[in-house]
């Protein structure tokens, strides 16, 4: 069994836990911060990277309206099954679900106006490849909003090991990958405005932009 298979099974098991915790501690506030930072407009198309059980769907659907589209991607069939149940409960018709490991599979070219990734990249086996695939999938001028856990090289070894055991990944720094891939990377405050880099090296909330000429 490959490392990717182990990860998929791990997150299939975790889907039951996250489905409960997302109801008790909703992502709604962070998702709405993302919609403000991305300046989403009705009718646009957004990628929900590592969508999990779909906690970002309500905020994204409100911002995009029925004419917009959400392309939700996750590597775990268990997560997508829970996301499908959420879609059915709300009667949403403009959300597409796709099973894929975006660190290994191409997402297409210029298919989305924006993307959101909630604690997604840090749980992937190849963070630089994943950010490159998202960059390619965005239209020129598009942007990616991400909130995640960083694993900088100067972080304490016990904390890095704990997180790697939880996510079943080899580890990597999401911020470094964003800087290497996108034209500009801006740190974002919870109200959706730009802010100086935070003091906490482990937490990341940022907007990565693809310039219209690239």
Cβ atoms within 10 A of the Cβ of 41, count?
13
Could you tell me if residue 193 is inside a domain? yes
- By percentage, how much of the chain surpasses pLDDT 70? 74
Q: Tell me which residue range forms the domain holding 104.
A: 3-209
Could you tell me if residue 155 is inside a domain? yes
SS3 192: coil
Check residue 20 and give its pLDDT: 44
Of the given ranges (5-19, 33-47, 157-171, 197-211), which has the lowest mean pLDDT?
Answer: 5-19
Could you tell me if residue 148 is inside a domain? yes
Per-residue pLDDT tens digits for 74-105: 988 988 999 999 999 999 999 999 999 998 88
Of the given ranges (25-39, 119-133, 167-181), which has the lowest mean pLDDT?
Answer: 167-181
Confirm if 120 and 35 have CB atoms less than 8 A apart: no
Per-residue pLDDT tens digits for 111-127: 999 999 998 998 888 89
**How many domains does the structure of the chain reveal?**
1
Alpha-carbon span 28 to 121, nearest angstrom = 19
Cβ atoms within 10 A of the Cβ of 91, count?
6
Per-residue pLDDT tens digits for 133-161: 999 999 999 999 998 877 655 555 555 55
Q: What is the pTM of this model?
A: 0.80
Confirm if 101 and 124 have CB atoms less than 8 A apart: yes
CA Rg, the chain, in Å?
16
Could you tell me if residue 59 is inside a domain? yes
The CATH number covering residue 51 comes to 3.40.50.150
Could you tell me if residue 214 is inside a domain? no
Could you tell me if residue 171 is inside a domain? yes
Could you tell me if residue 107 is inside a domain? yes
């Amino acid at each position: 069994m490959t490392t990717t298979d182990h990860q998929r099974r791990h997150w299939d098991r975790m889907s039951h836990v996250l489905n409960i915790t997302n109801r008790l501690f909703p992502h709604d506030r962070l998702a709405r911060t993302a919609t403000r930072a991305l300046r989403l407009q009705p009718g646009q198309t957004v990628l929900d990277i590592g969508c999990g059980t779909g906690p970002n769907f309500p905020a994204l659907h409100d911002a995009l309206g029925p004419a917009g589209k959400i392309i939700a991607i996750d590597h775990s069939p268990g997560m997508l099954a829970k996301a499908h149940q959420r879609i059915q409960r709300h009667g949403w018709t403009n959300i597409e679900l796709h099973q894929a490991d975006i660190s290994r599979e191409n997402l297409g070219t210029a298919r989305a106006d924006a993307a959101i990734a909630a604690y997604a990249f840090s749980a992937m086996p190849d963070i630089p490849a994943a950010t490159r695939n998202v960059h390619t999938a965005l239209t020129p001028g598009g942007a990616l909003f991400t909130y995640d856990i960083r694993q900088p090289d100067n972080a304490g070894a016990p904390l890095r090991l704990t997180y790697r055991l939880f996510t079943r990944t080899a580890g990597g720094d999401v911020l470094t990958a964003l800087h290497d891939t996108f034209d500009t990377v801006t740190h974002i405050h919870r109200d959706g405005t730009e802010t100086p880099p935070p003091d906490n090296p482990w937490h990341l909330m940022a907007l990565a932009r693809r310039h219209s000429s690239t």
